[in-house]
Amino acid sequence: MAKRVLTTESGAPVADNQNSATAGVGGPILLQDQHLLEKLARFNRERIPERVVHARGSGAYGYFEVTDDVTGFTRADFLSEVGKRTETFIRFSTVADSLGGADAVRDPRGFALKFYTDEGNYDLVGNNTPVFFIKDPIKFPDFIHSQKRDPFTGKQEPDNVWDFWAHAPEATHQITWLMGDRGIPASYRHMNGYGSHTYQWTNAAGEAFFVKYHFKTNQGVRSLSADQASELVGKDANSHQTDLLQAIERGVNPSWTLHVQVMPAADAADYRFNPFDLTKVWPHSDYPLQRVGRLVLDRNPDNVFAEVEQAAFSPNNFVPGIGPSPDKMLQGRLFAYADAHRYRLGVNHTHLPVNAPRTAVVDNYGRDGVHATRNGSRHDKNYEPNSYAGPAQTDAALAAPLAIHGWTGTHEAPAHTKDDDFFQAGELFRLMSEDEKGRLVANIAGGLSQVTRDDVIEKNLAHFHAADADYGKRVEEAVRALHED
């Protein structure tokens, strides 16, 4: 086999990759050593700004296969027939810590899935919990600031974490999830994934439905206790990355079964609580799970940076038959995610292989910018409408229109009969066994007892009391006991 020739970025052969050019033997390095300067300059630019949230992540390729007919609810082509397969890429992540953080920590997990459909890429951006801490995106930057490193101390501060939660009673439900037994998944393979938000499906007849996605792990849910997690972090901070990589390399391909809850659009207005509130779940007794298909991961990325770190997921990447709902958090993310990628990766991040459509043809008037690879020919115009047979609109909406009415302004969500911040947290607590309740209380008290302000502690305790009297009593007693110690 012919020996491969090392070249510079411009393709010129490299004569010596071991020694820099110098002014004589032992002399200073010459500025004219183009290969050295290029290597150093490229090395300085190998990293891009890390994600503000979901920085630490792992990914894999796979496919989604339809197992059940859902054409009565959506006209999305990749869901159009039983047996149809669509290539996918998934990125799992922790939320709060930086790129160098550990995997086995108490934190929600991102569950971001890209479907490379024939009608364009469809991105579903969710978590391993069906709810979230807040329900309005205007609070999101403040929430994340409270959870990340303090500007002065440079570390996560319990005072900041619990102070924000004290002023966000709607977080009580998600806190109960996070501090419970599923707060630290044993691996990415052993956790469920959720779309979390409410989305809209539209069928061929134009009928609209609101849906929630549930990816149930076929490996079974497994989680770690706080002690088990601490031990694992000490052995392998990259434990979840290691597990996912090795499982797929061994051919033990993880899979999830997708179910959806389907709500006819007409039900939303009179439902007993706001169905677009991200801090709440829809009871399965109202809207049972309906099976859709199976997600299988069967290939590891060849390059983590190129394919995992440069992967860009945007919930505004819809396909015909799927669209947004009035979920405020979703509405905010429709802008924020795509804008984050424009900042981190550039306006042409969709040209990168991991983000580019596989079978759908991209044909638009976007031109230029950093790393542009699709600028067209001399005959292609960069404006529309035109007289040169350029691409034209279809006049076919992706999803059904959402009805709006009323006055513009900063409004609270419309009140429903069961719209409070605590009842679902209480229901979740009452579903737990005595052992689960004990661990939940211990986890909450362990963090809350570190808070230095009594008023912040009292405000948080009031939330747990409001969720369930026994819940509040146990947390209060546990915090008091830790303070006495």
CB 277 within 8 Å of CB 420: no
Give, in degrees to the nearest 5, the angle at Cα 334 between 332 and 340: 90
Q: How far apart are CA 34 and CA 7, in angstroms?
A: 12
Phi, psi of 249 (to 5 degrees): -60, -30
Three-state SS for 377? coil
Write out the H or E segment, with its range, that includes residue 428: helix 423-431
β-partners of residue 322 are 201
Contact 134, 329 (CB under 8 A): yes
Residues with a catalytic annotation lie at 54, 127
E runs forming strands in 249-289: 255-264
CA distance 189 to 185: 9
| Backbone phi and psi for residue 41, each to the nearest 5 degrees, phi listed first | -65, -40
- Cβ neighbors of 482 (< 8 A, separation 6 or more) are 445, 446, 449
Number of Cα atoms under 13 Å in the Cβ half of residue 282: 25
